[in-house]
Structure 1
Amino acid sequence: MKIGLIGSGGMARALAGKWAAQHEVMLSGRDLAKAKSIADEIGVQAGSAEEAASFGEVVVLATRWEDVFSGIDSAGGPEAFKGKIVVDINNPVSIETFLTTRDDARSLTEAISDYLPGAHVGKAFNMAQVAVWADPDMTYDGRQMVTLYTADEAADEIIAQLIRDVGALPQRLGSNAHAYQLEAAAAIVIKFLFAGRDPQTIFNFIQPEVKAVR
């Protein structure tokens, strides 16, 4: 599978570094030299946002949440995402109040889906910090990490596979109508991280019948 990432920050680097073992991956960034340096370190390609969107069958929106729509526009706008699987990993959360910033009772993911009517959108990888995704083990209290996600039907299995490919277990919460719940849950984690908790603090979806395979 070909995966293009709009962004080259910590989250993009951690996810791309794991996906590189199974997929073709391209990072992008405003500073192309910086993106290329990171890409070289983890063994993936680098390009402009427009090139990453064109390259990817899957396009991951890995900018700051405030920059999501400008990132989409820099990649060519809605037309560039037609037919693509688009993964939103962002959390519209204020680091002053630790509340979601959406005031319409809808998620950022739904707003992205509205903006990209020709794409298949889902939300994943938003409920843990970079250190978690960079962790080669992905087990907590002897259990494999579970990653909750939302997706429309066309994106469902692809996103589930991308979650498996970073070492976690996928658990679909539902359609993107439930993405707001993921963003609100992430706000709780972010609040504790800013209070000084360990960077690998997570919510894990405990399934007593499922144990990590070692």
Structure 2
Amino acid sequence: MKNLNYPLTLKFKVAVINPQFSVADEMERPVAFVKQKAFKLKEDISVYKSAEQSNLLYKIKADRWLDYNASYSFLDSSGKESGRLVRKGARSLWKAEYELYDENGKQDLLIQEDNPWVRVADNFLGEIPFLGLLTGYLFNPTYNITRPDGTQVATFRKKPDLVSRAFTLEKNAAFEEGEETRLVLGVMMMVFLERARG
């Protein structure tokens, strides 16, 4: 997953047992189709080239069944690890924070929720009849993706939408070697975790 045309759009399919979404580029060409196995104790995500699910690109596997400080490895179709996403447990309870590591175990990116109050307002107001219908349009979290030196390389945000769940990934700086693949796979895993979080 490199040299993609940004922004990317991630759009969830509705009314399906296994959570899944498609990824398209700026020209609306398919980039990937991502599917989570339902009813698994440990997260098991498959990334395919298309919705036909005939060409497996990556697997994302959790190292434990509880996601408190869990690590999610990115494995290509041959089983080779290209990096991993780590959820920062206690810190992520209030403000979502994830670290991305390369294949050598060195941290190279950080994903941080911009404003946790957006999620709080969405959860709280979502329980109020009629007003809850508007929260998907009014409250849309943003996540900043930076290097350890503070350089912002990308922005991930939920799109305003009353019905479906759609997100965009925008590129803010040139990627370094291997960074793009880890970033895109990390965002794919994170969107499943954040969706479950609320």
Length-normalised TM-score, structure 1? 0.32
Return the structure number with greater strand share. 2
TM-score for the superposition, normalised by structure 2: 0.34
Q: Relative to total residues, which structure has the larger helix share, 1 or 2?
A: 1
Bigger relative contact order (CA 8 A; separation at least 6): 1
